[in-house]
């Protein structure tokens, strides 16, 4: 049986069904439409909450549509009394629709199973997935809820918003886990001093401040490194603080690289800043640098030696 024959058979079958049951179909649809109107009127005049009223009116339309389709299918099945081309066609369309509509649900469940197998994250972890960064506060079958961090808040602190993401993102997005197995991350702290400063002395001060902080947590770092190395092939050449030196346009940049707890980046930065500021205050040979600008007017010498102080 070719497709043209199938379409014609379906058309004539539906036409015969409509002719035979025209009055029944019309009366049934009018009754369902009247019930939907009455329900909407009841919601409009009896419910004060705008959101609830809107939702009830919306669902009344969905229910009316479902009742109408259900009644027509029941009536048609009674009329057909056997498998017909249209009935088979309709069953195929319904099954295809169910498969398409449940595709996302299935993907979310698969993602949930992967999460449970400890392949991605667990409750309490700090993660970044897609464009969202936050602390995992709940893992459901279909969705995961995060307490968002970052965005307009500096140093990856909480924004106060809750974000819900589908578990299917486990299958399509890269997951950055801040705390799985090893809750220390590398943090960089930058200090810019002038070219005239004793940058080596500044380097020594920054390193001494960092080492003082490191001594308090080095045992925790070592213990966690041992645990994570049993599970992953993780190799660090060193895990003590280190200061890197680079030459910038406005001065000498000293960059401290050290391990900090994932949730204490801002606290550690605050502590380091206060202690380094205090230490630099007692060092006249060290000055902070900042971007500067020189303006030369036409006709004036560009040599500072030929101009008054402060050129």
Compute the distance between CA of residue 147 and CA of residue 230 in angstroms, rounded to an integer: 30
Of 117, 135, 115, 133, whose CA–CA distance to 125 is shortest?
A: 135
Q: Which residue has the tokens 């230490």?
A: 279
What does the pLDDT average to over 216-241? 80
Residue 22: pLDDT above 90? Answer: no
pLDDT-based confidence at 98, cuts 50/70/90? Answer: low
Residue 99: pLDDT above 70? Answer: no
User: Which residues pair with residue 134 across a beta bridge?
Assistant: 127, 148
Cα 192 from chain centroid (whole Å): 34
Question: For residues 238-251, b (16+ Cβ closer than 10 Å) or e, as one string?
Answer: eeebebeeeeeeeb
Question: For residues 185-211, b (16+ Cβ closer than 10 Å) or e, as one string?
Answer: bebebebbbbeebebeebbebbbebbe
| pLDDT tens per residue across span 169-202 | 988 898 998 887 677 888 999 999 999 999 999 9
Residue 33: pLDDT above 50? Answer: yes
For the ranges 166-170, 176-180, 225-229, the maximum mean pLDDT occurs at 166-170
What does the pLDDT average to over 4-13? 57
Give the chain's mean pLDDT.
80
* pLDDT value, residue 310: 46
Tokens encoding 198:
């004793």
User: Which residues pair with residue 135 across a beta bridge?
Assistant: 126, 147
What distances in angstroms separate CA 150 from CA 98, 159, 160, 170, 218, one per listed residue?
39, 7, 10, 21, 28
* pLDDT value, residue 281: 93
3-state secondary structure of 296: coil
* pLDDT value, residue 11: 61
Q: Are 101 and 95 in contact (CB under 8 A)?
A: no
Residue range 184-281 forms a domain whose CATH class is alpha beta
* Residue 70, C-beta contacts closer than 8 angstroms, at least 6 positions apart: none
Q: How many residues does the chain have?
A: 311
* pLDDT value, residue 1: 43
- Provide the CB-side half-sphere exposure for 221 (13 A, CA): 19
Tokens encoding 152:
């307009």
pLDDT-based confidence at 24, cuts 50/70/90? Answer: confident
* Residue 133, C-beta contacts closer than 8 angstroms, at least 6 positions apart: 126, 127, 146, 148, 149, 150, 156, 176
pLDDT-based confidence at 2, cuts 50/70/90? Answer: very low
Residue spans in the chain of domains classed CATH 2.30.30.60 = 119-177
Compute the distance between CA of residue 196 and CA of residue 194 in angstroms, rounded to an integer: 5
| pLDDT tens per residue across span 36-66 | 888 888 878 888 877 677 777 777 777 877 7
* pLDDT value, residue 5: 44
| pLDDT tens per residue across span 280-296 | 999 999 999 987 776 77
Tokens encoding 15:
């036409």
* pLDDT value, residue 102: 65
* pLDDT value, residue 192: 95
Residue 83: pLDDT above 60? Answer: no
Of 258, 256, 261, whose CA–CA distance to 244 is shortest?
A: 256
Q: What is the share, in percent, of the chain residues with pLDDT greater than 70?
A: 79
Q: Are 307 and 300 in contact (CB under 8 A)?
A: yes
Per DSSP bridges, beta strands 252-261 and 132-139 are unpaired
* Residue 211, C-beta contacts closer than 8 angstroms, at least 6 positions apart: 240, 241
> Regarding the domain delimited by 119-177, which CATH topology (the fold level of the hierarchy) does it fall under?
SH3 type barrels. (2.30.30)
**Sign of the Cα pseudo-torsion (236, 237, 241, 244, in order):** negative
Residue spans in the chain of domains classed CATH 3.30.70.100 = 184-281
What does the pLDDT average to over 136-140? 90
* pLDDT value, residue 204: 95
What does the pLDDT average to over 260-272? 90
* pLDDT value, residue 71: 74
Q: Are 147 and 114 in contact (CB under 8 A)?
A: no
Who wins on pLDDT, 270 or 40? 270
For the ranges 43-52, 88-97, 227-236, 248-257, the maximum mean pLDDT occurs at 248-257
Residue 212: pLDDT above 70? Answer: yes
């Amino acid at each position: 049986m070719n497709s043209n024959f199938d379409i014609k058979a379906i058309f004539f079958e539906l036409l015969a069904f409509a002719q035979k049951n025209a009055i029944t179909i019309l009366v049934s649809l009018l009754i369902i439409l009247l019930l939907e109107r009455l329900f909407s009127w009841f919601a409009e005049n009896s419910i004060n909450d705008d959101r609830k009223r809107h939702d009830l009116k919306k669902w009344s339309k969905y229910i009316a549509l479902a009742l109408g389709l259900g009644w027509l299918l029941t009536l048609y099945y009674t009329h057909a009394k056997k498998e017909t081309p249209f009935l088979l066609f309709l069953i195929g369309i319904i099954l295809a629709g169910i498969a398409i509509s449940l595709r996302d649900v299935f993907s979310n469940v698969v993602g949930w199973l992967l999460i449970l197998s400890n392949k991605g994250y667990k409750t309490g972890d700090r993660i970044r997935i897609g464009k969202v960064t936050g602390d995992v506060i709940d893992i459901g079958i279909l969705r995961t809820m995060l307490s968002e961090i970052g965005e307009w808040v500096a140093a990856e602190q909480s924004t106060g918003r809750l974000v819900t993401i589908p578990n299917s993102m486990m299958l399509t997005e890269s997951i950055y886990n801040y705390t799985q197995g090893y809750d220390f991350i590398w943090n960089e702290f930058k200090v810019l001093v002038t070219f005239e400063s004793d940058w080596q002395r500044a380097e020594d001060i920054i390193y001494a401040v960092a080492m003082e902080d490191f001594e308090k947590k080095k045992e925790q770092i070592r213990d966690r490194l041992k645990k994570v190395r049993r599970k992953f092939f993780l190799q660090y050449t060193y895990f003590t603080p280190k200061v890197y030196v680079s030459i910038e346009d406005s001065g000498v940049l000293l960059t401290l690289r050290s391990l900090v707890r994932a949730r204490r980046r801002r606290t550690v930065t605050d502590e380091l800043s206060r202690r380094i500021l205090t230490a630099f205050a007692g060092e006249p040979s060290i000055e902070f640098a900042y971007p500067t600008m020189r303006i030369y007017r036409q006709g004036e010498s560009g040599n500072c030696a030929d101009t008054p102080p402060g050129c």
